């Protein structure tokens, strides 16, 4: 059996070998970055180096980076920590954004192509004079659709609102520039770009208001208490320095092959600018769970939407927000490529997908004949 | 993996700061490695074997943690570390029960993250009692009994102090809390794997655990949350609903596996290790006491983990001593505040005079400390303390029998 084909990088991307090397070095060196002795200073130097690398990835200053335990923590603390009573979030945000604001949120709709509705945002901003925070992700985790964040910022600025951008899926897969976009806050996750799990960052533009909710030892310039995950942070730094996907060619070939096999399949967000690694596709009449199980048996790992919804298979809220009809949404799987994806991986997926499609259409045909 | 078995290089100075952080046990790193490489899946991915494999690793770790503290695995919630655990336990419980009870009891010698959380809750309208401790660092149970009322929602008292290593009477505290119907939270970052802990026997309702204080990795911790009778808390981090909604976010599989393995090793080796560390502790203490006068041990010596010695050297300037003993990595207090020159609030709470608090050192011994390292540490300390005292006019006066406190200093 050829090696397994892991095509679920938007759930988590395997650790890059260079990141692992850096981590093992740091794990062996030990030391608490707050300690004054040389173990402490060595650990501090690792954290500082990674801070520069992560800052460079998103066009920020090192002092604007606050390391967290991941994207979820970053999203949670910023929505509370920005101190704005009114929070406007797009309908396709990650659960960690949607649930963090709870009932206080106002939802910005998205169009059928998966792009946030800017006219609606403008109207929503005009309906209230309460100080607001707008949270729009840079690229969606399920469809890969890239959002017009610079436009969002322009509208928000006019209304005096602050802007948070969840760039967890975008960073490393497209150029990201904090100051170019003009956002006030940005969330990042290491394990989505080949760094380790358990580490992420909240980028806080210099001058943007922020008060963290975790009390303690005053680490991260009093913005996030707790002993730093030094090895994780070092791994994040190296992964950030190496990030920069160019899987567009592979993705396009894969998409063309899938559509050639199943002309009635549909790619969600196809008309919009998308990340170069993501395909969200519905195979007509075949439930997503059936597809992922069949693909898993064939040694191909993909997912039926986001990984985090803890087991329960629900219809995708993202596709619902795009107005995809329920039957089609239930037949959607997400294929996401990454830094170690190969032609062989996509061939394996194509073969398995074709076999399933033929089996299903054949049984449809038999059923039709029997009826 | 050849160098993995060796933690310390010979040219390195001696690491004696095991309360700040512990080196990663090579066996823990070995257990983590597969989850960094080929078992890299997201433990929450339910649709493929990559996810199932990761989930298996996470759940095994959860059970390993639970076993060490006598809990059920369903009662263990992974967090990013003890700071988050402490924040979640205290704020989470206070928030959830705030309509019924609004009083919190803690002690003045808690870790900064507990004290800061309590201060924050005071601003939110909670009443907080900061109990003083006795001169030996232990909480006075009678005063605790008086402080806990039917309005007390949670009592947060650490198991082992990070600066002076004293062990609080957990079972007695748990009993008092249970009688009064208050939840008992203990910050056990410095205690887990060092002393036997049993959440049932000690009536502990919530317990904070840290990975990197028990030879596991940084960036991971756990919170024990009792299920029977059930303790409820308001979550601090929302999202994908992982950890039964208590704490959202993708679980860092390798780190979970690491803290689990660290607990497993501690469970197997705690008893033997404690005996070995007790011998090292005695060797260190006797070495210093036999060669130096005017030294004071801070905190109770009997109710103390063997891996900690906190000691004040009279007539010596603390900073000069720290600068002198370059070959030893020790600290003057907790790591979080070690860059500041403020004397330790823990020592001041014991009634240690400011002068003596300024000359204190925290010496932490642990799994990889050797006899030879302790002997070297004693020699270095004795040499430098003597040298500094020779230069000290106060020491000279004390030797001549003058009571320093009786001197009236002239203002300049």
Residue of B nearest to A219 (CA): B336
Q: Which of B45, B218, B329 sits opposite A228 (nearest CB)?
A: B218
User: Which residue, B96, B135, B136, B90, is CA-closest to B113?
Assistant: B90
Question: Which 3 state secondary structure label does DSSP give B406?
Answer: helix
A207 lies within 8 A of chain B by CB: no
Note whether B232 and B362 are same-domain residues.
no
Residues 54-83 on A with a CB inside 8 Å of B are: 68-73, 75-76
Look at residue A57 in the predicted model and tell me its pLDDT: 98
Task: Render pLDDT for B31-72 as a digit per residue (tens, 0 to 9).
Answer: 999 999 989 998 988 878 889 999 999 999 999 999 999 999
Note whether B295 and B345 are same-domain residues.
yes
Distance from CA of A211 to the nearest CA of B (A): 12
Q: Would you kindly state where each structural domain of chain A is located, as residue ranges?
A: 5-13+245-370, 17-242
Distant-in-sequence, close-in-space partners of B282: CB < 8 Å, separation ≥ 6: none
What share of chain B in percent tops pLDDT 70?
Answer: 94
Note whether B280 and B389 are same-domain residues.
yes
A311 lies within 8 A of chain B by CB: yes
End-to-end CA distance of chain A: give it in Å, rounded: 40
Q: Give yes or no for residue B1 having a pLDDT over 60.
A: no
Note whether B164 and B291 are same-domain residues.
no
Q: Is residue B410 part of a domain?
A: no
Q: Is residue B4 part of a domain?
A: no
Note whether B261 and B393 are same-domain residues.
no
Partnered with residue A6 across adjacent β-strands are: A301
Measured CA to CA in angstroms, residue B215 lies from A27, A115, A156 at distances of 11, 47, 48
- Determine whether the interchain pair B44/A30 forms a contact, defined as Cβ–Cβ distance below 8 Å: no
Note whether B170 and B285 are same-domain residues.
no
Q: Is residue B122 part of a domain?
A: yes
What does the CA dihedral B320, B321, B323, B327 come to, rounded to 10 degrees? 170
Residue B5 binned pLDDT confidence (cut-offs 50, 70, 90): very low
- Site from B23, B91, B331, B335 to mutate, A interface, most A CB atoms within 10 angstroms: B335
Q: Is the dihedral of CA B24, B28, B31, B35 positive or negative?
A: negative
Residues on chain B touching A73 (C-beta within 8 angstroms):
80, 237, 249
Percent composition of chain A: helix, strand, coil (DSSP 3-state, to 5): 45, 15, 40
Task: Render pLDDT for B177-204 as a digit per residue (tens, 0 to 9).
Answer: 999 999 999 999 999 999 999 999 999 9
Q: Can you tell me the distance from the alpha carbon of B371 to that of B276, in angstroms, rounded to the nearest whole number? A: 10
Q: Phi and psi at residue A79, in whole multiples of 5°?
A: -70, -30
Look at residue A305 in the predicted model and tell me its pLDDT: 67
Measured CA to CA in angstroms, residue A353 lies from A7, A280, A301, B8 at distances of 13, 14, 12, 53
What is the third-level CATH fold of A17-242? 3.40.640
A37 lies within 8 A of chain B by CB: yes
CB B211 within 8 Å of CB B78? no
Mean pLDDT (chain B) is: 93
- Site from A13, A231, A339 to mutate, B interface, most B CB atoms within 10 angstroms: A231
Q: Which of A24, A197, A218 sits opposite B250 (nearest CB)?
A: A197
Domain around B37? 26-266
Note whether B54 and B141 are same-domain residues.
yes
Tokens of A146: 């890239």
Residues 260-279 on A with a CB inside 8 Å of B are: none
Note whether B149 and B255 are same-domain residues.
yes
- Segment B393-409 shows an average pLDDT of 81
Q: Is residue B17 part of a domain?
A: no
Q: Can you tell me the distance from the alpha carbon of A215 to that of A94, in angstroms, rounded to the nearest whole number? A: 26
The residue among A315 and B156 whose pLDDT is bigger is B156
Question: Structural domain tally of chain B?
Answer: 2
CB B211 within 8 Å of CB B190? no
Distant-in-sequence, close-in-space partners of A207: CB < 8 Å, separation ≥ 6: none
Residues 166-205 on A with a CB inside 8 Å of B are: 189, 191, 196-199
Q: Which of B266, B300, B331 is the last residue of a domain?
A: B266
Look at residue B231 in the predicted model and tell me its pLDDT: 97
Q: Which of B266, B284, B306 is the last residue of a domain?
A: B266
- Segment B257-270 shows an average pLDDT of 98
Note whether B259 and B296 are same-domain residues.
no
Tokens of A254: 């894969």
Note whether B259 and B366 are same-domain residues.
no
Q: What is the ipTM of this complex?
A: 0.88
| Residues belonging to chain A | 371
CATH code for position B225: 3.40.640.10
Note whether B160 and B104 are same-domain residues.
yes
| Residues belonging to chain B | 412
Q: Which of B245, B266, B287 is the last residue of a domain?
A: B266
- The CATH number, out of the four listed (3.40.50.720, 3.30.420.40, 3.30.300.30, 3.90.1150.10), of the domain defined by the range A5-13+245-370: 3.90.1150.10
Task: Render pLDDT for B74-120 as a digit per residue (tens, 0 to 9).
Answer: 999 999 999 999 999 999 999 999 999 999 999 999 999 999 999 99
Distance from CA of A40 to the nearest CA of B (A): 9
Task: Render pLDDT for A219-256 as a digit per residue (tens, 0 to 9).
Answer: 998 899 999 999 999 999 999 999 988 888 999 999 99
Q: Is residue B304 part of a domain?
A: yes
Task: Render pLDDT for B290-342 as a digit per residue (tens, 0 to 9).
Answer: 999 999 999 999 999 999 999 999 999 888 898 899 899 999 866 555 556 67
- Positions of chain A with pLDDT under 70: 1-2, 103-104, 305-314, 364-371
Distant-in-sequence, close-in-space partners of B294: CB < 8 Å, separation ≥ 6: B313, B314, B315, B398
Measured CA to CA in angstroms, residue A75 lies from A69, A82, A121, A166, B206 at distances of 11, 11, 20, 7, 26
Distant-in-sequence, close-in-space partners of A37: CB < 8 Å, separation ≥ 6: B13, B17, B329, B330, B331
- Determine whether the interchain pair A301/B120 forms a contact, defined as Cβ–Cβ distance below 8 Å: no
Q: Is residue B186 part of a domain?
A: yes
Q: Is residue B14 part of a domain?
A: no
The structure's pTM equals 0.91
Residue pointed to by tokens 């990889």: B368
């Amino acid at each position: 059996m050829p090696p397994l084909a892991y095509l679920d990088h938007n759930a988590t991307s395997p650790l890059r070998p260079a990141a692992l090397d850096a981590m093992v070095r740091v794990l062996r060196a030990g030391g608490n970055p707050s300690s004054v002795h040389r173990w402490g200073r060595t650990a501090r130097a690792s954290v500082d180096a990674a801070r520069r690398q992560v800052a460079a990835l998103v066009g920020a200053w090192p002092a604007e980076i606050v390391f967290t335990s991941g994207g979820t923590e970053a999203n949670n603390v910023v929505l509370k920590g920005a101190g704005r009573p009114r929070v406007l979030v797009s309908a396709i945000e990650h659960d960690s954004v949607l649930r963090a604001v709870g009932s206080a949120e106002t939802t910005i709709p998205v169009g059928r192509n998966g792009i946030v509705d800017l006219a609606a945002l403008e109207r929503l901003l005009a309906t209230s004079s309460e100080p607001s925070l707008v949270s729009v992700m840079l690229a969606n985790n399920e469809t890969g659709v890239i959002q017009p964040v610079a436009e969002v910022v322009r509208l928000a600025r006019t209304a005096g609102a602050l802007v948070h951008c969840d760039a967890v899926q975008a960073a490393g897969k497209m150029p990201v520039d904090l100051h170019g976009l003009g956002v006030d806050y940005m969330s990042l996750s290491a394990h989505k770009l080949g760094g380790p799990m358990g580490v992420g960052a909240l980028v806080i533009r210099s001058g943007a208001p922020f008060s963290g909710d975790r009390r303690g030892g005053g680490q991260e310039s009093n913005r996030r208490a707790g002993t730093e995950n030094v090895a994780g942070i070092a791994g994040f730094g190296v992964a950030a320095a190496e990030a920069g996907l160019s899987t567009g060619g592979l993705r396009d070939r894969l998409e063309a092959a899938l559509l050639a096999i199943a002309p009635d399949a549909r790619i969600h967000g196809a008309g919009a600018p998308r990340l170069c690694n993501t395909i969200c596709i519905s195979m007509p009449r075949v439930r997503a769970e059936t597809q992922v199980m069949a693909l898993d048996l064939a040694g191909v790992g993909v997912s039926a939407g986001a990984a985090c919804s803890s087991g329960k298979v629900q219809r995708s809220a993202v596709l619902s927000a795009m107005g995809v009809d329920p039957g089609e949404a239930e037949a959607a799987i997400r294929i996401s490529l990454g830094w170690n994806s190969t032609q062989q991986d996509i061939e394996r997926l194509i073969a398995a997908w074709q076999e399933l499609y033929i089996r299903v259409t054949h049984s449809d045909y038999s059923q039709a004949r029997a009826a | 993996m050849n160098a993995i078995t060796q933690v310390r290089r010979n040219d390195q100075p001696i690491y004696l700061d095991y309360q700040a952080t512990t080196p990663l046990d090579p066996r823990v790193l070995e257990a983590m490695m597969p989850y960094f490489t080929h078992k890299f899946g997201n433990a929450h991915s339910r649709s493929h074997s990559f996810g199932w494999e990761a989930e298996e690793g996470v759940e095994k770790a959860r059970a390993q943690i639970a076993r060490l503290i006598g809990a059920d695995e369903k009662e263990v919630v992974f967090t990013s570390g003890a700071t988050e655990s402490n924040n979640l336990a205290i704020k989470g419980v206070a928030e959830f029960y705030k309509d019924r009870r609004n009083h919190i009891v803690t002690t003045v010698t808690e870790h900064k993250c507990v004290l800061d959380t309590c201060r924050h809750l005071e601003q939110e309208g909670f009443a907080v009692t900061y109990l003083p401790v006795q001169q030996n660092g232990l909480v006075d149970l009678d005063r605790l009994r008086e402080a806990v009322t039917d309005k007390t929602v949670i009592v947060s008292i650490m198991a082992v102090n990070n600066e002076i290593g004293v062990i609080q009477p957990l079972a007695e505290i748990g009993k008092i809390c249970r009688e009064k119907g208050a939840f008992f939270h203990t910050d056990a970052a410095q205690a887990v794997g060092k002393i036997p802990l049993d959440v049932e026997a000690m009536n502990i309702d919530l317990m904070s655990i840290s990975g990197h204080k028990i030879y596991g990795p940084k960036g991971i911790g756990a919170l024990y949350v009792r299920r029977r009778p059930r303790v409820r808390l308001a979550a601090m981090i929302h999202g994908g609903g992982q950890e039964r909604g208590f704490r959202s976010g993708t679980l860092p599989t390798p780190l979970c596996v690491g803290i689990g393995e660290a607990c497993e090793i501690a469970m197997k080796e705690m008893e033997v290790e404690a005996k070995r560390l007790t011998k090292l502790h005695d060797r260190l203490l006797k070495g210093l006491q036999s060669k130096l006068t005017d030294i004071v041990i801070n905190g109770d010596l009997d109710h103390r983990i063997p891996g900690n010695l906190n000691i004040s050297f009279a007539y010596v300037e603390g900073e000069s001593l720290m600068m002198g003993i370059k070959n030893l990595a020790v600290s003057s207090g907790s790591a979080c505040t070690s860059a500041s020159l403020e004397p330790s609030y823990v020592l001041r709470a014991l009634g240690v005079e400011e002068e003596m608090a300024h000359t204190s050192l925290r010496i932490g011994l642990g799994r990889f400390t050797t006899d030879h390292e302790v002997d070297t540490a004693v020699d270095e300390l004795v040499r430098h303390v003597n040298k500094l005292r020779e230069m000290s006019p106060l020491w000279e006066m004390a030797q001549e029998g003058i009571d320093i406190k009786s001197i009236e200093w002239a203002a300049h």
